[in-house]
Amino acid sequence: MRALVALCALALASPTLAEDRAPWRAVDVETGQIRDIDGLEQLARDFPESGSVRLRLLQPLIAAGEVGKALETLEWLYDRGYVFSDAAQAQIPKLIEGVDAGRIAERLIAEAEVIEASAIIAILPAEAGLTESVVKDPRTNTLAVTSQSGNSIWQYTSPDEHAQIDFGEGHSFSGIVYRPVLDQLWASVSGVPNPFNAEQPAAGLMSLCMELECSQQLIVIDSQAKSMNDLVAATDGTLYASDSIGGGVYRLGNGSKSLEPVVKPGTFRSPQGLAVSEDGARLYVSDYRYGIAIVDLETFEVSRLTSDIPLLLDGVDGLWRYGNELIAVQNGSSPMRIGAFILSEDGNRVVSHRILEQAHSEWTEPLSGSIDEGSLIYVGNGQWDRFVEGRLADGKQAIPTEIRRLPLSPTPH
């Protein structure tokens, strides 16, 4: 019966033709304030692969005594592998009155399957602070790690050879990539001086010179950007960056000295990871609470990635293309996992899924990174729970950063 329900839901949610693209509904702060059942049910129809929306819907359904719909929502989450905390699993049966606890338990996964496949390849000292992403610099074979709290980039060669490159106050680094066309490292940066408004810090992209004797860094900002986050380099050298607060996406063309809006602010609630299709025609953008969008890089039309199978596509922080797959770090779901979404030939749908790592016992929160020689290298113990606005919270201490390597086999087509 559960499989039949999932199949019916799939038939209603998926486009009727493979070449059709599902529309993307613009989302913003106000969208997150929707609390009524009708509004949330419409949001669930607009974003049928979002577990966050279903979880928001569950509470008002229970409060309104909509037992049948509440059980359907629990079953929907069950089919997609969602695991409630121990406290929630104990509380939910008490909230749904008149239903045997056993029936509710059938819709709750007891615990997550633990899949541990990565290995630690580097450890940075606690002084690195709130690190966010990592890339291997092919010119030196060193790891470059961004620090949001330390105004710095850390270089790691070996346990006995690592160093902090301090860029000074007002350089909160997030994403980092190697730009092969220009043979440069670039990072997304926030909190830098704003020539358009001295009272409002700016955000943008910055070329990184990691040598002490290098000339001045190049910083390219945009007056509308609020907080530059993830970053990806296309094969032609174009950089794409997400504004996680402003809700837009920007690009920096090869040889350009100005950022161009690709997706206007307010289209996404919290855009995070980015991946460019193999032909360079489209950009995949993960919106943390709502799913994965597809941006046509010729028309700038925004559509939504759909799934042919029951799957959660929200909660994605890091996102990368690997052959015909999208590799996703889902730290906004439960359990936290790293998976591979196998795409259809037209790139509009997910047709299969591989879980590469899940509920790792040594994770705090897996964050971003980069793909290197068939593996994902990533920050394995994010410290967002220890920092507030880039500073250590009262009573908290920073811990050493663990960089992990996760094989991505099988080899993509």
Residue that wins the pLDDT comparison between 63 and 168: 63
Burial of 409 (0-12, 13-18, 19+ CB in 10 A): exposed
Q: Answer for the pair 273, 280: CB distance below 8 angstroms, yes or no.
A: no
Q: Give the containing element (helix H, strand E) for 104.
A: helix 101-105
Bridge-based pairing of strands 349-358 and 306-307 is parallel
* Separation of alpha carbons 82 and 209, rounded Å: 43
Q: Supply the pLDDT for residue 224.
A: 87
Confidence of residue 19 (pLDDT cuts 50, 70, 90): low
pLDDT tier for residue 4 given thresholds of 50, 70 and 90: very low
pLDDT at site 363: 98
Instruction: Give SS3 for 383.
Output: coil
Report how far residue 214's alpha carbon sits from residue 171's, in angstroms, rounded to the nearest whole number. 18
* pLDDT tens per residue, range 27-37: 999 999 999 99
Q: Which of 16-25, 51-60, 214-223, 253-262 has the highest mean pLDDT?
A: 51-60
| Residues of the chain above pLDDT 70, percent | 93
Strands 249-252 and 239-243: what pairing? antiparallel
The encoded tokens of residue 225 equal 């950007």
Model pLDDT, residue 197: 83
Structure confidence at residue 50 (pLDDT): 98
pLDDT over 90 (residue 216) = no
Greater confidence (37 vs 184) lies with 37
pLDDT range class, residue 169, cuts 50, 70, 90: confident
Answer yes or no: is pLDDT of 123 > 90: yes
Q: In what order do the strands lie in the sheet with 337-343?
A: 306-307, 349-358, 337-343, 325-330, 316-322
Predicted local confidence at residue 212, as pLDDT: 46
Percentage helix, strand, coil, to 5, in the chain? 15, 40, 45
In sequence order, what are the residues at sequence separation of 6 or more whose Cβ sits closer than 8 angstroms to the Cβ of residue 124? 131, 145, 154, 156, 162, 400, 401, 403
pTM value?
A: 0.93
> Is the peptide bond preceding residue 159 cis, with omega within 30 degrees of 0?
no
The values of phi and psi at residue 95, to 5°, are -85, -30
Q: What is the pLDDT of residue 210?
A: 67
High-pLDDT (> 90) share of the chain, % = 82
Give the model's confidence band at 235: pLDDT under 50 very low, under 70 low, under 90 confident, else very high.
Answer: very high
CA atoms within 13 A on the CB side of 130: 21
Give the pLDDT band of residue 10 (cuts 50, 70, 90). very low
| pLDDT tens, residue by residue, 50-66 | 999 999 999 999 999 99
User: Please, what are the domains in the chain?
Assistant: 2-105 (no CATH), 119-407 (2.120.10.30)
Instruction: Indicate the pairing of strand 325-330 with strand 337-343.
Output: antiparallel
pLDDT, position 132: 97
Instruction: State how far the Cα of 43 lies from the Cα of 31, in Å rounded to an integer.
Output: 9
pLDDT value for 87: 95
Residue 352 token pair = 């299969």
Residue 16 has pLDDT above 50, yes or no: no
> Contact at 8 Å (CB) between 355 and 325?
no
Mean of pLDDT over the chain: 92
What's the mean pLDDT in 98-120? Answer: 96
Residue 411 has what pLDDT? 54
**Average of per-residue pLDDT across 177-198:** 90
Region 103-127: mean pLDDT is 97
pLDDT at 18 over 90: no
Q: How confident is the model at residue 410 (pLDDT cuts 50, 70, 90)?
A: confident
8 A C-beta contact, residue 280 and residue 207 = no
Q: Are 185 and 205 in contact (CB under 8 A)?
A: no
In the predicted structure, residue 213 carries a pLDDT above the cut 50: no
Q: Taking residues 376-398, report their average pLDDT.
A: 94
**In 138-171, beta strands by DSSP E:** 142-147, 152-158, 161-166
Report the alpha-carbon distance of residue 206 to residue 229 in Å, rounded: 12
pLDDT at 175: 98
* Strands of 22-23's sheet in order across: 22-23, 302-304, 291-296, 282-287, 271-276
pLDDT at 254 over 90: no
Q: Residue 233's closest CA among 188, 271, 290?
A: 188
